[in-house]
Amino acid sequence: MNAVTADLVIRNGKVVSPDAVIEASIAIKDGRILAIGADSAMPPAKETFDATGLHILPGAIDDHVHFRDPGYPHKEDWESGTAAAAFGGVTCVFDMPNTIPPTGTAEILAAKHEIAAAKAHIDFGLYGLLGDDTIANVPALVDGGVIGFKLYMGNTFGKIPSPDTGATLECFEVVAATGKRISLHAENNDIMERRQKRLMAAGIRDQFAHLAARPPVVAVEAVSRAAILAEWTGARIHVLHISTADELRPLREAKARGVDITGETCPHYLMLSTEDYTRVPGVIAVNPPVREKHNQEPIWQALLDGSIDVIATDHAPHTPEEKTRNDIWTVDCGFPGVETQMPLMLTEVNAGRMTICDYVRMSAYNPARIWGLYPRKGALLPGSDADIAIVDLSRTHAIRDAETQSRSKISPWDGRAVKGLPIHTLVRGRFVMKDRTLVTETKGWGRSVHTIQKMPKPTVRHAEHSMQSITNARS
Ligand code: DOR
Ligand code: ZN
């Protein structure tokens, strides 16, 4: 006898975990997974959904998006950004703090939480801005529910000032004690600023000048320095958008030393190269830049051997006008990605580049683990939130910027053929995208995931040298 009635049973799909693909049905109740197993073992349900022939994945967790809200509604907002995510099989995003005003105080954070909760179709976390001016705000930002911190070692869109090394060390000291992870835009600001100034003075303003201002050493130096400061303080760090083969050595060496350092890359560093620059001039401009082709293979290898933990997108929407200006120094850097990451990566699964289990590991399982959300998020297990991407691996599709949900409507992916497409997306048991159609009533369904985050206990190092303990001892 079975006393429980499920809200929904998704029947006869191929359920994907990091280790295996199993033929199974999934019962969902109150937004969580109640049971997974043989269809005959499922409880009675108010509703059933046939997933025969489809793969059932934990929804992707994209720990790197810019939804521009508040501040730049013409580029994106929480409604359009999360609609794009829903179409991309993404059930949770972490939003970056370079909005207006930047997310650097508890009050601004609270206001952003409200905006997001009113508009989001999917779940979210909000980064707090970490820099020289916000060190003192760290405890209040943690209390206010940041998912983690973002520190801009190098300048990019939004012109957030980059802390110098002294301030960066102090930032790491303070955040180390909280146990939160710090995501890093790891590019050396001094090198970039100097080179850009000299290039501009020489009147060089073609798109390759952008690349010339940010050679790989800019990233390698920043990753290496950040790893040393993290090792010293015990701060947890996450290296965003790894773009070069050269960054892999300091990343791997730091991991081998036991530094709590994780890495991320994005589809554009795996699939685009300088060979694409003339095809989509300006549109492809992003920080860090898309690089020479020889970087692709080592980054793939690192993603597959686990040196790079996460595939994310750096979804950075701008308008066609902002992307196609003649002077590269005035072009807004970045392009949308939250909607196309999964189809692009599933195309690689179909091509034999990796298994679908590998994909789930880097898109859902790893991000959930490193951000303290596992197994509520990033897993299809009894008790997990029913955050699900139902994908058709055999479905072909051409990416068309004009048809995307993002307000940006311009990317280097326009016209690209993919094979493997999310067809339905559920967040906490509710369809937010069904049959490639947005469920508009789910606007406002998204919730901040900071309430379920459990980071491991902090491991602070060299506390006796921290500015705080020294000034406390003398006061
Ligand atoms: O190209 C980029 N655009 N890189 C970043 O780091 C920021 C982003 C944006 O916000 O537009
Ligand atoms: Zn970014």
Q: Residue 323: enclosing H or E segment and its boundaries?
A: helix 320-323
Confidence of residue 322 (pLDDT cuts 50, 70, 90): very high
Structure tokens at 92: 């949770």
Q: Check whether 1 has a pLDDT greater than 80.
A: no
**Ligand 1 — pocket residues by CB below 6 A?**
66, 98, 156-158, 185, 286-287, 316, 333-334
Which residues have CB under 8 Å from 10's CB, separation 6+?
A: 25, 26, 28, 48, 49, 51, 56, 388, 390
Q: Check whether 335 has a pLDDT greater than 70.
A: yes
Angle, helices 216-233/248-256, rounded to nearest 10 degrees: 10
pLDDT at 315: 98
Q: Check whether 147 has a pLDDT greater than 80.
A: yes
Confidence of residue 474 (pLDDT cuts 50, 70, 90): confident
Q: Residue 256: enclosing H or E segment and its boundaries?
A: helix 248-256
Same domain, 378 and 334: yes
State the CATH number of the domain containing residue 270.
3.20.20.140
Same domain, 395 and 284: yes
Specify which residues 427 forms β-bridges with: 430
Is the CB of residue 171 less than 8 Å from the CB of residue 137? no
Is residue 467 domain-resident? no
Angle at 316 between CA 311 and CA 322, to 5 degrees: 150
Is residue 277 domain-resident? yes
Same domain, 45 and 138: no
Is residue 289 domain-resident? yes
Is the CB of residue 261 less than 8 Å from the CB of residue 254? yes
Mean pLDDT of 73-78: 98
Is the CB of residue 170 less than 8 Å from the CB of residue 470? no
pLDDT in tens, 184-198: 999 999 999 999 999
Ligand nearest to the CA of 314: 2
Same domain, 13 and 131: no
Same domain, 301 and 245: yes
Q: Check whether 376 has a pLDDT greater than 80.
A: yes
Mutate to test the pocket of ligand 1, among 62, 63, 65, 66 (most ligand atoms within 8 A of CB): 66
Same domain, 63 and 15: no
pLDDT in tens, 214-271: 999 999 999 999 999 999 999 999 999 999 999 999 999 999 999 999 999 999 999 9
Same domain, 132 and 24: no
Same domain, 15 and 93: no
Alpha carbon of 229 to ligand 2 centroid (Å):
22
Is residue 470 domain-resident? no
pLDDT at 475: 80
Alpha carbon of 375 to ligand 1 centroid (Å):
30
Alpha carbon of 287 to ligand 2 centroid (Å):
8
Same domain, 211 and 358: yes
Is residue 44 domain-resident? yes
pLDDT at 3: 75
Is residue 395 domain-resident? yes
Is residue 465 domain-resident? no
Structure tokens at 117: 């909760």
Same domain, 74 and 37: no
Same domain, 26 and 78: no
Which residues have their alpha-adjacent CB atom under 5 A from ion ligand 2?
A: 314
Ligand nearest to the CA of 338: 2
State how far the Cα of 75 lies from the Cα of 113, in Å rounded to an integer.
19
Mutate to test the pocket of ligand 1, among 95, 157, 162 (most ligand atoms within 8 A of CB): 157
Answer whether the bond into residue 70 is a cis peptide, omega within 30°.
yes
Is the CB of residue 303 less than 8 Å from the CB of residue 273? no
What Cα–Cα distance (Å) separates residue 161 from each residue in 13, 21, 171, 229, 389? 49, 46, 14, 19, 38
pLDDT in tens, 17-54: 999 999 999 999 999 999 999 999 999 999 999 999 99
Is residue 120 domain-resident? yes
Confidence of residue 2 (pLDDT cuts 50, 70, 90): low
Alpha carbon of 157 to ligand 1 centroid (Å):
5
Atom of ligand 1 nearest to the CA of 240: 6
Total domains in the chain come to: 2
Same domain, 78 and 46: no
Strands in 5-132 per DSSP E: 8-16, 21-29, 32-37, 48-50, 55-58, 60-65, 90-95, 123-129
State the CATH number of the domain containing residue 20.
2.30.40.10
Query: What is the residue type of 277?
Result: Y
Structure tokens at 392: 């058709």
Angle at 51 between CA 49 and CA 54, to 5 degrees: 155
DSSP-based three-state secondary structure for 165:
helix
Alpha carbon of 155 to ligand 1 centroid (Å):
9
Torsion of CA 409, 413, 418, 421, to 10 degrees: -40
* Residue 364 per-residue DSSP state: I
What is the pLDDT of the chain when averaged over all its residues? 98
Alpha carbon of 287 to ligand 1 centroid (Å):
6
pLDDT in tens, 115-137: 999 999 999 999 999 999 999 99
Domain that holds residue 39: 8-53
